Amino acid sequence: MAYTDIDDPTAYFQTALYTGNGGTISVVNDGNSDLQPDLLWFKCRSNATDHSLQDSVRGASLALQSNSTSADADVGSSQITAFNSDGFSLSSGGDVNTNTRTYCCWQWKAGTSFTNDASSTGIGSIDSAGSVNTDAGFSIMTYTGTGSNATFAHGLSAVPKMAIFKDRSSTGYWMTYHQAVGNGANLVLNATDAKSDSAVWWNSTSPTSSVFSIGTSNNINVSGRNYVGYLFADVKGYSKFGSYVGNGNVSGSYIHLGFKPAWVMVKKTSGTGNWMIIDNKRSASGGFNVLGERLKANGSDAGSTADYQDHLSNGFKIRTTASSWNDSGGTYIYMAFAENPFVTSGGVPATAR
């Protein structure tokens, strides 16, 4: 029995920690494999500042903030100066490199250029372009809105289980699809809102292995506006997108992933709650369970340390009664990426912290 499709998750996802110097700096990844990232998601840990998301498709000069409705901000060369073969280089931009402040950067690899002319291929109803990694189940796609229900090719050759979209041309919410809430509901990455039911998000149509469906919401499909989407598929032993029900106890729910997680984001869908992020690098416990220092995708807050999760060899366990993680009977979605598969294809097992 194969436990994983990816033996080395560090080839596709890594968290980097660094301290800003206010000048120039190159951050080198420390995983088993070199990782040239295509999506960089920055957050200052020590101070309250905006998140900054930059990718190789939109280009290093453009930044979005997951905690804001703002359109693409042209930061020029003040932040990222290079996507390197083993990390990235930075200039003196305050959101990513203020002197003495501590930062984390979550990185995903796409890497293969993708374009689809819908009228020529017959796939989708509108054109799309970007970068894709079918092995890791991740694509960065851009498209132009039409104002009418539409579909576009995503390049994954697998069904997306989660997708996050942002209007690049204008202010607007971060629209988020998750398979656990279905094609009739939406979540907003930059807000604490519970799931919202409407056909205007995804045209009440589930994605397929070739196309993603969008509705007529102003936040996802205004005629002539430019959009970016980050789309993710399940990959055995590397990524998973599911849900759980809270029990309200400090010994909370156990969520089976089939891998030891490197990064987990959780959101309550049955009521309001923050988008909570834990990773395997930030922890007051020195990397051992229980892991703390959560950051909020929807908030500018600095890192806040408490006991939130155990990261186990095959999943994670909630270790708090806080509402954003574990209300009794509350429903939650999660997005998770691996540090190690539970067992590699060569039979090597992972261990808990």
Radius of gyration of the chain (CA): 19
Fold of 112-232: Immunoglobulin-like (2.60.40)
- CA–CA separation, 350 and 90 (whole Å): 34
Class of CATH domain 9-108: mainly beta
At 173, list the tokens: 């919410």
Q: Return the pLDDT at 210.
A: 98
Residues of the chain with CATH 2.60.40: 112-232
CA distance 3 to 144: 39
Domain with CATH 2.60.320 in the chain: 9-108
Sequential DSSP letters for 189-243: TTS-PPPEE-HHHHTT----SSEEEE-S-TTT--TT-EEEEEEE--BTTTEEEEE
The whole-angstrom separation of Cα 323 and Cα 330 is 8
pLDDT of residue 175: 97
Series of mean pLDDT values for 10-residue runs along the chain (353 residues): 85 96 94 90 96 97 97 92 95 90 97 97 98 98 98 98 97 97 97 96 98 97 98 97 96 94 96 94 68 89 82 91 94 96 71 60
Task: Mark out the alpha helices in the chain (DSSP H runs).
Answer: 118-121, 199-202, 323-326
* Residue bearing tokens 């301290």: 19
Are 148 and 25 within 8 A, CB to CB?
Answer: no
Instruction: For 120, list phi and psi in degrees, rounded to 5.
Output: -85, -40
CB neighbour list of residue 49: distance below 8 Å, 6 or more residues apart: 43, 94, 95, 98, 300
Tell me the torsion sign for CA atoms 120, 123, 125, 128: negative
